[in-house]
Structure 1
């Protein structure tokens, strides 16, 4: 009887307390889940939203168009164009089977090299694969559709003038910041201001929606230069021919509007292709017209004579005996190429007599000689804001001693740049008024200040015209249809311990038309090789071609007979070069 009761008790199921425990535990779990859901979705819903946005919302920059650089007639010299750059999330690309190999083939890289590049950066979420891709490559990358590989729109700078104006215009880095030339000097107005927007990306990093515009991009300002593209091309072409013909180390040509101080052309050789940064030679990037300072040699003689005339120490009709072609000044010997005998001031200029120039200088008070060089701003920068510009060199005080005074008279012991030479001759062309040099187009004639009486400037002009006439050192600088005023110069290059016996700098600086000047042109050819190395042989023909073409481009009517100045070369055959 007792056993049967026990059996009935066991058959009744588990004890009540166990069932209660299970039910309470289950209810607790349910309540916890409901509470957590309520907490996340109602009480703290901002947390989930912030977490989602942190993973999918990004603020990205909107590129601002860099301002266009044009010549004085609106022809483009530097423009920005949209291109695509490719970037990747390294970890995602490495996880994709075959992705690295496909990507390497498209980019023209070895698979091992690309894999190593990505492995080293796998902790990052963003690395560039290639910047500023050509359109066909960006389309190919897009078609691969490899997870973790994306395209980003950017702006790339293009230079339609290429190497003809490379040093002048300069270039930007890959992020659009100006590094050289006008691009650097005017970087702030050209750059503008980047915009910003918030976008939503998917798990592969691709933009799927524009959420919010934070800031509109502000495009950079367009800049209109004073340069004339046609004159620039002409100057570069003629300079390139001369450098190649004479196997010279380098050269520069500067063309300046004498009325406004505007630079119409600044050409340098060697040059470079601004689109091929990897192949840029640092020396080719050098804007030699601004950065290289040379001893000016005989092209300084007009200012020596101007100082003498201004001081009254020499009269226009005075003559100087240059025989026998040499002259002792202290321990220094001044030499001419030939014995020119008796020369007046015009003869000293025409024959480029060092002996005559030295005698003129030694009759001139040293302070007056120095002051004229100061007034014409030798040893002073041009005012164009190029970081690489040289100021040249002029002593801070008048020359001490006769040797220094004599060597100054024919351009040794000081240095100047091609731009400074063009500026000083433009002042002579302006009747003794010097104007600031500018690279920006000017709507009106720029006011300058007088540094030389107009009558003395006219006398100097008449003397400079004789240099181009038969018997002068600059016959090859003549321009058919126009009268020209100018001066040749040939300088021995300074080397350790003195001056080289076989390295020279050939120069010609002048202006045209002589009677109503419009342009000043400076030509400098550094270290021409071979038998022809004088300024009258090497630089003067470049002046002739550049001035002739520039005057036609500027629509300056001829004033001389169409046949131009006769090219008599008897003096050349006898070796009477400057």
Structure 2
């Protein structure tokens, strides 16, 4: 029996002593674990305490979005509150090209819903493949847009917008103007009052997923501020009448176009402003750019004989031509400088009223050439010619009254019968407010006024009243303006026929026919300017083509405005 053995058993062995290197490895591993746990704990503290705000911002940046809230564009109405321009809600469908499916089946359904060719749609997707946004179709009705969204094509989204609609269509198109696809004013009053009509878009905070889909609407950060409404001086009832009658006249006379301006004689407010040609602002496909022009405000022309009453007011104020003045206009023509001035016929001896009634160029020239000072052009400037009307309308015409330094005798004479200067139809109507208001010219307004404006006295009251009486004699049986008569009402007016300027001076067979009328004479309410541009029919004189338009428009307007007749029953004078 060995010594290690004991009675009843075996003595256990002692464990071998630990290797010194093993102790080192153990300590190292323990330290590494403790360090790792410390770092992890530190990082947890760092993330949850120290960098909490930074991480929250980063996280929110990936899911929180601020979407714009479109502002409702202000409405444009006529003076009675009837809508002329309104904004209706529409939906624009857009897509993230990077999220669109490659499956042709879904793309075919999407193209059909959009009303597009599949090849065209694929081409656009490829073009914008590096972008995260592309329009699929803009300004759709909510119902049509929902049909597209119901397809649930990945990457397809929608946003709310507004589209401008013009209930009156082409009737008042050039005055109102239009907005572009982003609902921003581009022409006319839409452009002039863009900042007032547009309003201020709002903002809302939302949560979206990584594909840009809305998860939750959180809050409105800033409410959208709707645009302001614009109330025009236009009376839509009168506007329809003016447009209808002008269109008929242009068609009947095979004319290039025309314009009508009706103004409130007492306030200077524009009650109607119609132009031909026109266009439909709700459907601009195949639009003729000529129809965009508001001819009444942006185009100028030589006024011809319709200017004679205004020139006569300057002549009368000199005191050199008493009521009994007679001018010999025989033999119907006269030479000034190297030019020949003619009347339509040999009128012989004419009174001052007769000069207007017969529209004698010779009579006006002889009176004007007796003056030593340029009183006639000075009067034109006092009446607003050669100056902007001040309505704020984009591109409103200034016109021109030539400088006195360049006048010859023939030019001085020509100014008195309407040649050598340029005016717009709106300027003509504004100038005649001075004749209708005892010499007080009213400022022009395209907006409804809440109270009468302060006018400017530019003609002596007695002279203005005398000229109005002369114009009253112009519109009577046997005169060239007889077709301007309005049953039941007295009319003061003046015709004009002007040669148009061509490439080589005045054209031989191109004219403008004009008429300016004030009615009723006893208490003037409306001033109406009618211009027919280049009629190609048998008639071209203002009394033949423009005066009848005035008669129909003014007659209807007076009845609509409930103006009592001032023509005695059975009186054949007017």
Same fold (TM over 0.5): yes
Deviates more, 1:32-41 or 1:507-516: 32-41
Match runs of 1:68-107 below 5 Å: 68-107=75-114
The alignment's C-alpha RMSD in Å is 2.3
Q: Aligned ranges for residues 32-43 of structure 1 at < 5 Å?
A: 39-41=46-48, 43=50
Gaps of 5+ in 1: 1-14, 568-578
Candidates 470, 474, 479, aligned match of 1:467 = 474
Partner of 2:246: 239
Cα 1:559–1:415, aligned 2, differ >3 Å: closer, same or farther? same
Residue in 1 aligned with 2:172?
165
CA contact (8 A) 2:166 2:282 kept: yes
Give distance in 1, aligned partners of 2:246 and 2:441. Answer: 27
> Secondary structure of 1:490's match?
strand
Indicate whether 1:249 and 2:294 are aligned: no
Out of 504, 529, 537, the residue aligned to residue 536 of structure 2 is 529
Counterpart in 2 of 1:290? 297
Aligned to 2:69: 62
Structure number with larger C-alpha Rg: 2
Which residue, 125, 145, 148 being the options, matches 2:152? 145
Residue 187 of structure 2 corresponds to 180
Question: What residue in structure 2 maps to residue 8 of structure 1?
Answer: none
The counterpart of 1:118, out of the listed 121, 125, 136, is 125
Q: For the residues of structure 2 that align with 1:112 and 1:40, how far apart are their CA atoms? A: 51
The superposition leaves residues 196-228 of structure 1 with CA deviations (integer Å, 9 ceiling, x where unpaired) of 121111233222222232212211111211110
Q: CA deviation at 1:273?
A: 1.2
Task: State TM-score, norm by structure 1.
Answer: 0.91
Q: Distance in 2 between matches of 1:366 and 1:129?
A: 69
Distance 1:52 1:182, change over 3 A: same
Native 8 Å contact 1:198 1:212 kept in 2: yes
Residue 192 of structure 1 corresponds to 199
Matched, 1:354 2:361: yes
Q: Give per-residue Cα distances to partners, 1:349-395, cap 9 Å, x unaligned.
A: 11111122211221233421221111111111211001211101112
Moved more, 223-232 or 201-210: 201-210
Assess if the C-alpha contact under 8 Å between 1:399 and 1:405 holds in 2.
Answer: no
Deviates more, 1:483-492 or 1:62-71: 62-71
Q: Secondary structure at the match of 2:499?
A: strand
Inter-partner Cα distance in structure 1 for 2:78 and 2:140: 28
Whether 1:155 and 2:197 are equivalent positions in the alignment is no
Deviation at 1:288, TM superposition (A): 0.6
CA deviation map 1:147-192 (0-9, x unaligned): 1111101111111111111111112222222221111112222222
Give the 3-state SS of the residue equivalent to 1:438 in structure 2: coil
Q: Which runs of 5+ in 2 are unaligned?
A: 1-20
Of 270-279 and 329-338, deviating more is 270-279
TM-score, normalised via structure 2 length? 0.91
Does the C-alpha gap of structure 1 residues 46 and 424 become closer, same or farther in structure 2, counting only changes over 3 Å? same
Per-residue deviation, 1:27: 8.2
The answer for the alignment partner of 2:11 in structure 1 is none
Query: Aligned pair in 2 of structure 1 residues 425, 185: CA closer, same or farther (>3 Å)?
Result: same
In the other structure, the counterpart of 2:5 is none
1:558 aligned residue? 565
CA contact (8 A) 1:506 1:534 kept: yes
Please state how far the C-alpha of 1:276 moved relative to its aligned partner. 2.2
Structure 2 Cα separation of the partners of residues 317 and 456 of structure 1: 15
- Deviation of 1:85 after TM superposition, in Å, equals 0.7
Distance 2:62 2:277 in 1: 53
